[in-house]
Structure formats: C-alpha cells, structure tokens
C-alpha cells in the first residue's frame, strides 16, 4: 500500500521525455539523440496553495487547468529545444524555439480543437435531428465523443505519437512504482500498469460525459447560443471533473469510483503504450527530481 505521507505526483509525456511535478517542484527529463539524459528542474509556487480563495473547490480546478497549461508549454518548449539543439549543432548554427512559438502553436491547436470538437458536432447534429432541446444535446454529445475517439485512434498510428504514448506509459509506471513504496528502478517500474486513474486522459473522458449531462439541460433554438454556451462552460466542466478526480484519488478502492473511471482507463489503452527500459529510465529521472531523496534510491 502506498505511503499516505508521500507527495502526490503526476506529469506528462513530452518530446523524447517526461515532465513530472509535485506540489512545489517540476522536472523535465529528456533523452538526447546521443543517448544522454538531460534534466531541468524548477520550483513551483502555485497560487492554489498561497490563497484560500483560489483553493476553494471548483475555483482551484480552473486555476490548476491554466497553471497546468503553462507548465505544459514550458515542458514542451524545453524538450523541443533539446531536439533542435542536437540538429542545429550538427549544422554549426544555434537555433532556439521560444515559449511564444510553442504557445502560438498551442493556440492554433486549440482553435482547431474548437472547430473539430464543438463546431463540427453542432453542424452534424443539425443534419441528424430537428430538435433544439434535450435530444439535440444528447446527439451532439455522442457525436463529439465519436469524433474524439476517431481522432485519438487515427493519430495513434503516427510514429512520433507512438513514442509519445510510450513515454506516457513510462510516466504512469514510474508514478505507480513510487506510490507503491517500491525502490525507483527500471526493473520495479516495469512491473506496474501503464494505466493510471489520475491521468489527464480520464479527465478528458469526464469532461466529455459531464458536458453531455450539463448541455442536456441548457437548451436554445439559436445555433450561436449553443456554441457560446459550450465554449464558456469548458472551464466549469473541467473544474467539476478535476474535483471528481481528486475525490476519486482518495477513494480508488470504492466500487462506484472504479466504475466511473473505467472509461478513462479504457481510453488510456490507446493513449499509452508499453515503454522500453530506456524510456522508463527517463521517467524515473524526472520523478526523482521532484520527490524527497529519502523516498527513492539512486
């Protein structure tokens, strides 16, 4: 059984690496083309832990959503620059990808996501039903989930995405190993599952399901109102989903919680892949950088 005194850790896969974070620390470990592992460490000062207001239920979920986005941009920027460094050093010149470049790319991606997962389902639903109420919103939600699943499955065949999903699996295995109180080694981590109940993939599934339930009671005959409501409610739905995941993390053995998070675990069978030992090694390097030394062994 995991030690309850241990800090809660989590992270994300990045380009040829893993980002891990705890309450007050963040570390990114990336394997360079020359096989060496480079690690960047940083202290975190979340406003959630410095303000009673921002630590209130639901409020903290919205704050964490934006803080996680910022941390994710930093992690992706660092991993991308490690890759660029290696390539440009061979050509005898230096290039660097800025946080703004990554942020702009993410903004473009968000715009495309809005079109794919909000506008397109609204358009397709209009072709399926003439209802403006409950039926419309349910059909819209089902189509949105279908498009999302089709998207995830299609990109999973890309070689770069496959490697990203392997690092995702390595992240989960190392976190499981830590939570179980085992020595942080590749051999120990290898034996754990690549599917983790606190994964962001589970959060996405919760957002999709909660959105169907919420939008089913918010109806309007106007297409533009439907679009604005869906866009405006994203942070609110994410906040509810965050609180559920937080509650579920403390009651993982409850049968009802297990049933509710099961769809997220099933989706992780697509968004994670079995990592090789070198990828698990990278994840462990990042994890060791954010937890106290007395809780792991070098």
Q: Is 267 in contact with 201 (CB distance < 8 Å)?
A: yes
How many CA atoms lie less than 13 Å away from 227 in the CB half-sphere? Answer: 13
DSSP bridge partners of 14: 17
User: Residue 124: what pLDDT?
Assistant: 95
Rounded CA-CA distance 160/156 in Å is 9
Q: pLDDT tens track of the chain, all 298 residues?
A: 344 467 889 999 999 999 999 989 999 999 998 889 999 999 998 899 888 999 998 899 889 888 988 898 889 889 988 877 765 555 555 566 666 777 788 788 889 989 999 999 999 999 998 887 888 988 999 999 999 999 999 999 999 999 999 999 999 999 999 999 899 999 999 999 999 988 888 888 888 888 888 887 777 788 888 888 888 888 888 888 888 888 887 787 888 888 888 888 999 999 999 999 999 999 999 999 999 887 665 4
As given in the structure block, the two tokens for residue 10 are 């989590």
Q: Is 84 in contact with 32 (CB distance < 8 Å)?
A: no
Rounded CA-CA distance 281/287 in Å is 10
Rounded CA-CA distance 38/36 in Å is 7
Rounded CA-CA distance 199/233 in Å is 22
User: Residue 185: what pLDDT?
Assistant: 95
Residues 6 or more apart whose CB falls under 8 angstroms from that of 247 comprise 257
User: Residue 145: what pLDDT?
Assistant: 92
User: Residue 2: what pLDDT?
Assistant: 42
User: Residue 83: what pLDDT?
Assistant: 76
Q: Is 206 exposed, middle or buried (0-12, 13-18, 19+ CB in 10 A)?
A: buried
Q: Is 14 in contact with 286 (CB distance < 8 Å)?
A: no
User: Residue 88: what pLDDT?
Assistant: 54
């Amino acid at each position: 059984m995991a030690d309850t005194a241990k800090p809660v850790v989590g992270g994300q896969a990045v380009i040829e690496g893993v980002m891990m974070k705890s309450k007050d620390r963040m570390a990114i470990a990336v394997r360079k083309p020359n096989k060496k592992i480079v690690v960047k460490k940083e202290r975190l000062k979340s406003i959630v832990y410095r303000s009673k207001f921002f630590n209130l239920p639901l409020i903290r979920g919205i704050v964490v959503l934006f803080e996680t986005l910022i941390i994710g941009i930093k992690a992706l920027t660092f991993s991308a620059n490690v890759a660029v460094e290696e390539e440009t050093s061979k050509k005898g010149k230096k290039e660097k990808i800025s946080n703004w470049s990554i942020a702009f790319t993410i903004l473009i991606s968000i715009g495309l996501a809005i079109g794919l997962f909000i506008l397109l389902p609204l358009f397709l639903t209009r072709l399926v039903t003439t209802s403006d109420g409950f039926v419309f919103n349910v059909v819209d939600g089902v189509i949105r989930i279908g498009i999302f699943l089709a998207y995830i499955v299609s990109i999973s065949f890309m070689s770069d995405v496959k490697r990203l999903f392997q690092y995702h699996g390595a992240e989960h295995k190392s976190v499981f190993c830590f939570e179980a109180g085992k020595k942080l080694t590749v051999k120990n981590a290898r034996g754990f599952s690549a599917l983790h109940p606190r994964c962001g993939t589970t959060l996405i599934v919760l957002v999709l399901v909660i959105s169907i339930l919420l939008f089913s009671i918010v109806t309007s005959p106007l297409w533009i109102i439907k679009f604005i409501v869906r866009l405006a409610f994203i942070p609110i739905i994410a906040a509810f989903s965050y609180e559920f995941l937080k509650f579920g993390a403390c009651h993982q053995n409850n049968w009802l919680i297990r049933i509710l998070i099961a769809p997220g675990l099933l989706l992780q069978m697509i968004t994670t892949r079995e990592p090789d030992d070198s990828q698990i090694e990278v994840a462990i390097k990042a994890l060791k950088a954010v937890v106290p030394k007395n809780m792991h062994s070098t």
